[in-house]
Amino acid sequence: EVLALLLLTLPLLQGLAAHLHSLLTGSYIPGTHSIALVGCLNEHIARDIARAIMDKKLAACVNILPKSSALYFWKGELEESTEILLLVKTRTSKIGELSNYVRSIHPFEIPEIISLPIEQGNPLYLRWMEETVPRD
């Protein structure tokens, strides 16, 4: 039981330790924030999803990138389409919630939701992200 409790509270303890370290040293801990990539069928869907993410306060910022060509295999066939890409900037701790939410509102059967940790960046921007996205 103790081990299970420790495993369940580990993410919370890690988050608190990271926050305390950041406050005491004024430094950024790599991986605290992430960028999630979300592929969308068209600009209307992209805007709707971006607005929904922001309304839920799951991100500090969502960029909507213009059309790009995509080649991929779907059900054994090579497909080609155009997509709109969302760049979602958020806390790494929010990626699971963000992914679940996007899957619940996205029209694709298997939406593209991929995240990459932010290793470095403008300290002022990273601090703004920290202040903008509510903690878990």
Q: Which fold has domain 31-132?
A: Alpha-Beta Plaits (3.30.70)
At residue 107, the 3 state secondary structure works out as coil
Q: Quote the pTM value.
A: 0.80
Residue 54 CB neighbours (<10 A): 14
For the packed helices 95-105 and 43-55, what is the interaxial angle rounded to 10 degrees? 130
Quick: pLDDT tens for 85-123.
999 999 999 999 999 999 999 999 999 999 999 999 999
Give the per-residue pLDDT at 72. 94
What are the extents of the domains in the chain? 1-27, 31-132
Tell me, what amino acid is at 91?
Answer: R
Nearest C-alpha neighbor of 42 from the set 87, 102, 82: 82
Give the per-residue pLDDT at 55. 98
User: Which residue(s) pair with 114 in the sheet?
Assistant: 37
Alpha helices in the chain (DSSP H): 2-25, 43-55, 95-105, 123-132
Q: Which two tokens stand for residue 30?
A: 């790599």
At residue 103, the 3 state secondary structure works out as helix
How would you write the pLDDT of the chain (136 residues) with one tens digit per residue?
777 776 777 777 776 776 676 667 777 888 999 999 999 999 999 999 999 999 999 999 999 999 999 999 999 999 999 999 999 999 999 999 999 999 999 999 999 999 999 999 999 999 999 999 998 7
Residue labelled with tokens 């370290």 = 21
Give the per-residue pLDDT at 22. 67
